[in-house]
Amino acid sequence: MRIAVYPGSFDPITNGHLEVLKRSLRVFDKVILLLAVNPAKKANFSKDERLFMMKEATKGLNGVEVDSYAGLTVDYCLEKGAHHLIRGLRAVSDFEYEFGLAAANEFCSKDVDMVFFMAHQGESFISSSMINELASARVDVKSLVPEAVDVLIRKKYGEPITHR
């Protein structure tokens, strides 16, 4: 069985994340969508809220497991028998960051390879931080996130201003 891990902070999970996940399911038998918990990083949504959104967003997707982990992602991969890490690339700036991350992961374990999926052109601007910024300004982000995410965003930031 070909197992891959798709890690991220998913704060919140977006349609762009889901697109990468769905495409990775064409390559791998099982993909673990991993909430990589970093206590040093301030999240907009709690760990439980993010896990809930991830589980709701992936309902009905065969071959997906949702989990969380606070250690090195490479260690998690080795524990799960996964030899591939899924990453999405939106822009050149993502590549620079991911290139360094790939080198660090290879330093930790040569048994885990990074697999990159390019974002579709229409989704290249979607990031969790952009979603939070727009939602906090009360811009309707419903078309950029799964339904369960939109519900929590509206609870957190209020209803969008309709005249935009």
Q: What are φ and ψ of residue 159, in 5° steps?
A: -70, 145
Instruction: Give the whole-angstrom CA distance, residue 116 versus residue 17.
Output: 12
Tokens 């935009």 -> residue = 164
Whether 105 and 114 have beta carbons less than 8 Å apart is answered as yes
Give the 3-state secondary structure of residue 86.
Answer: strand
**Helix, strand counts (H, E) of the chain:** 6, 5
Residues noted as catalytic: 17, 41, 90, 128
